[in-house]
């Protein structure tokens, strides 16, 4: 060995530096809670996936598609039958015609639809406005696409925002606002007047609205879902994200889509093609069948989720939680201050290990963890058996001092 010649260092710490972007966020807290629930045998009220069967019709349609050998790549931006069904359903539900040939991209879940959208529109120096608390993926989505997030608070108990806060978050660098209605984790359903206020700012600052509408059918107490794309002046600057995951109880299928103007769609399609090529072909065929379900399917879905919401509200209130009653989606945000724990993470760990119930610490929905330290989120996309088991375990929880 020639000592004068630089040698590659042998130590393990000398491996090439990892992505600085990836270093800026942690693994998903929500999905970690599911793993902890499994490890401790806890009742899992953390991650939003149903523990009841998907509709028989969608499962049969998937089985038939596989038997019929629809097992090779679909068109990269989505099987024609599925895109046609997405356009038909959007028009039926929202009264807006979209062109399945030029305005729809089918992706691997709404997760990929959001990421492909962000990568398709963001340039260095761009900012995105995000309401918080927010679905935790939006933070890493912003980092990975290179956008700087500007957060605007939704304030309890009814999760309204201050129009001045929103106006202050917009500016010449704003590329988009990310909106999620019905909202995870708060259960807020944005009113038309709120969407119009957002529209005014998007027009003023020439910004897109990216709207995640994955809980569009989970609405309670007469709440109505309005798609941002249908607000006057917003059709061309809205990207509507949705998926099969929640509406048809198939979160593991990973099929979602983005609806956008032809120009935006062609950019999304390019990113999507090189990121994933396409979503599972037979499951897109099953999706085409599901999107043709009659209105009664969606009415029953909302009615059954309202009953589940009320069941979990009663259980949590009985155990001493202060609950914020959701008007949409399938989560209950709670306030845990009265339990006297140092913070949400300490309480969530105690709940999963000592009491046997998994929930998500509120801090995972905020940019500054301190803002979520008195919150814990529970999901109610569960069966009565699961609720009963959770109720039995939560009965062991010492009732908080007021
Ligand atoms: C607001 C929101 N968007 C997107 C997703 C993920 O959706 P998908 O399974 O379609 O990727 C979730 C899952 O919990 C969610 O709550």
> What are 357's two structure tokens?
């119930």
Q: Determine how many CB atoms are found less than 10 A away from the CB of residue 197.
A: 15
Strand ranges across the sheet with 104-107: 104-107, 256-259, 238-243, 208-212, 174-180, 127-132, 148-153
- State the Cα–Cα distance between residues 255 and 112, nearest whole angstrom: 9
Question: Among 214, 257, 328, 332, which residue has the most ligand 1 atoms within 8 Å of its CB, making it the best to mutate?
Answer: 214
Map residue 377 onto helix, strand or coil.
strand
Map residue 111 onto helix, strand or coil.
helix
pLDDT for residue 32 = 83
CB 256 within 8 A of CB 278: no
> What are 287's two structure tokens?
């999706």
Which positions ≥6 away from 7 have C-beta within 8 Å?
A: 1
pLDDT for residue 29 = 84
Map residue 381 onto helix, strand or coil.
coil
Q: 10-residue block means of pLDDT along the chain (402 residues)? A: 46 79 86 88 94 97 98 98 98 96 98 98 96 95 95 97 98 98 98 98 98 98 98 98 98 98 98 97 98 98 98 97 98 96 94 96 95 97 97 90 54
Query: What is the model's pTM?
Result: 0.94
What does 158-190 look like in DSSP terms, one character per residue? TTB--HHHHHHH--TTEEEEEEESS-TTT----
pLDDT for residue 348 = 95
- State the Cα–Cα distance between residues 73 and 60, nearest whole angstrom: 20
Q: Which atom of ligand 1 is nearest to the CA of 215?
A: 1
pLDDT for residue 26 = 83
Q: Which atom of ligand 1 is nearest to the CA of 183?
A: 1
Question: Among 111, 133, 333, which residue has the most ligand 1 atoms within 8 Å of its CB, making it the best to mutate?
Answer: 111
| Residue 292 to residues 54, 87, 217, 366, Cα–Cα distance (Å) | 15, 11, 14, 37
- Report CA(111)–ligand 1 centroid distance (Å): 6
Residue with tokens 């000398």: 14
- Report CA(256)–ligand 1 centroid distance (Å): 9
Q: Which atom of ligand 1 is nearest to the CA of 243?
A: 10
> Residues lining ligand 1, CB < 6 A?
48, 109-111, 135, 180, 184, 212, 214, 243, 245, 251, 256
């Amino acid at each position: 060995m020639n000592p004068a010649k630089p040698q590659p260092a042998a130590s393990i710490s000398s491996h090439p530096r990892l992505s600085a972007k990836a270093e800026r966020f942690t693994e998903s807290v929500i999905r970690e809670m599911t793993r902890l629930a499994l490890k401790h045998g806890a009742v899992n009220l953390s991650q939003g996936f149903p523990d009841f069967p998907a509709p028989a019709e969608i499962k049969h349609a998937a089985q038939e598609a596989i038997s019929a050998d629809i097992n090779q790549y679909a068109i990269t931006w989505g099987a024609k039958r599925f895109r046609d069904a997405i356009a038909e359903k959007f028009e039926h539900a929202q009264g807006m015609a979209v062109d399945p040939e030029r305005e729809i991209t089918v992706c691997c879940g709404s997760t990929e639809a959001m990421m492909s959208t962000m990568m398709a529109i963001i340039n260095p120096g761009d900012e995105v406005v995000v309401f918080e608390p927010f679905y935790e993926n939006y933070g890493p989505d912003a980092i990975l696409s290179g956008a700087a997030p500007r957060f605007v608070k939704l304030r309890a108990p009814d999760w309204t925002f201050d129009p001045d806060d929103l106006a202050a978050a917009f500016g010449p660098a704003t590329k988009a606002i990310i909106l999620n209605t019905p909202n995870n984790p708060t259960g807020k359903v944005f009113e038309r007047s709120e969407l119009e206020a957002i529209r005014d700012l998007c027009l003023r600052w020439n910004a897109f609205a990216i709207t995640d509408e994955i809980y569009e059918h989970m609405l309670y107490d007469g709440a109505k879902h309005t798609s941002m794309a249908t607000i006057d002046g917003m059709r061309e600057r809205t990207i509507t994200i949705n998926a099969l995951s929640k509406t048809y109880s198939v979160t593991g299928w990973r099929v979602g889509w983005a609806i956008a103007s032809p120009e935006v769609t062609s950019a999304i399609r390019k990113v999507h093609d090189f990121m994933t090529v396409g979503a599972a072909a037979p499951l897109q065929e099953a999706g085409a069948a599901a999107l043709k379900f009659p209105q009664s399917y969606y009415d029953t879905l909302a009615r059954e989720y309202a009953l589940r919401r009320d069941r979990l509200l009663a259980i949590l209130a009985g155990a001493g939680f202060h609950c914020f009653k959701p008007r949409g989606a399938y989560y209950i945000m709670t306030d845990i201050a009265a339990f006297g724990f140092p913070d949400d993470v300490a309480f969530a760990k105690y709940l999963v290990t000592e009491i046997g119930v998994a929930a998500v610490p509120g801090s995972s929905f905020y940019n500054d963890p301190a803002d979520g330290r008195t919150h814990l989120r529970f999901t109610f996309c569960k069966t009565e058996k699961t609720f009963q088991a959770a109720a039995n375990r939560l009965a062991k929880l010492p009732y908080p001092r007021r």
